[in-house]
Amino acid sequence: MPDDELKILMNKLGQAINETLTESPKVNVSIQNIKDAGYEVFLTIEAAAVGTKKPKSKTASESLVALDKKVKLRLTPDDAKFLKQLKISVDDYSME
């Protein structure tokens, strides 16, 4: 995929994430709670395309199977603290 096409796709992903977070009552209430406590809030989510493009050899059913697999998320203690302040449970994730 040419770099321009990847940039367009990543931009669309960013817009979708931004719209979802903006429309989420839980996120908005949590952010307002932090602001009400006297803190400034900066929410940063990073999406990165890393490595090379995958070959298009998988079938649709193989792709669906991959979606059912659990993903391990590694959090630093600071990540966990921040997410807990946003009332997001982090008990099931491994800590670095």
Are 74 and 89 members of one domain? yes
Phi and psi at residue 42, to the nearest 5° = -130, 110
Supply the pTM of this predicted model: 0.43
Same domain, 39 and 13: yes
Query: In this structure, are 5 and 44 located in the same domain?
Result: yes
* Residue-range definition of the domain harbouring residue 91: 58-96
Residues 45 and 64 in one domain: no
The count of structural domains within the chain is 2
Three-state secondary structure of 25-86: HHHHHHHHHHHHCCCCCCCCCCCCCCCCCCCCCCCHHHHHHHHCCCCCCEECHHHHHHHHHC
> Which residues contact residue 87 at a Cβ distance below 8 angstroms, ignoring those fewer than 6 apart?
26, 30
Tens digit of each residue's pLDDT (9 = 90 or more) over 30-55: 989 999 999 998 887 777 776 666 66
Report the run of H or E that residue 95 belongs to, with start and end. strand 94-95
pLDDT digits (tens, 9 = 90+) for 43-89: 877 777 766 666 666 555 555 555 556 666 677 888 888 888 888 87
Are residues 46 and 75 located together in one domain of the fold?
no
